[in-house]
């Protein structure tokens, strides 16, 4: 486990027992990481760690499937349920 991840894990579990500044000062990390920690800056920390991916966390949708008309090209009207293929459309 990297020193940074170990530190974050400890800080997450034991926030009251950690002398934050002293712990950060003692960590074997580079200057950018130390600065990000002292600034309590998650974005800077990600940059210093070298992983700035934007992770997607959507795992719910309000509908079971996308609306069908959205899949149709342009503004082509959706066929009515009782409108069989090949049936002439009323003018």
Binding site for another protein (CB under 8 A): 1-2, 4-6, 8-13, 15, 37, 40-42, 45-46, 49, 51-53, 55-67, 70
Q: Identify which of residues 22 and 60 has a Cβ nearer to another protein in the complex.
A: 60
Q: Identify which of residues 61 and 84 has a Cβ nearer to another protein in the complex.
A: 61
Angle formed at CA 13 by CA 16 and CA 58, multiple of 5 degrees: 125
- Nearest approach, Cβ of residue 45 and another protein (Å): 7
65 phi and psi, to 5 degrees? Answer: -140, 160
- Nearest approach, Cβ of residue 7 and another protein (Å): 9
């Amino acid at each position: 486990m990297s020193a940074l991840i170990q530190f974050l894990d400890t800080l997450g579990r034991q926030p009251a027992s950690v002398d934050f500044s002293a712990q950060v000062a003692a960590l074997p990390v580079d200057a950018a990481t130390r600065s990000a920690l002292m600034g309590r800056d998650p974005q800077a920390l990600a940059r210093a760690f070298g992983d700035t991916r934007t992770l997607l966390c959507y795992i719910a949708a309000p509908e079971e499937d996308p609306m069908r008309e959205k899949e149709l090209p342009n503004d082509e009207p959706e066929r009515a349920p009782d409108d069989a293929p090949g049936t002439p459309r009323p003018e």
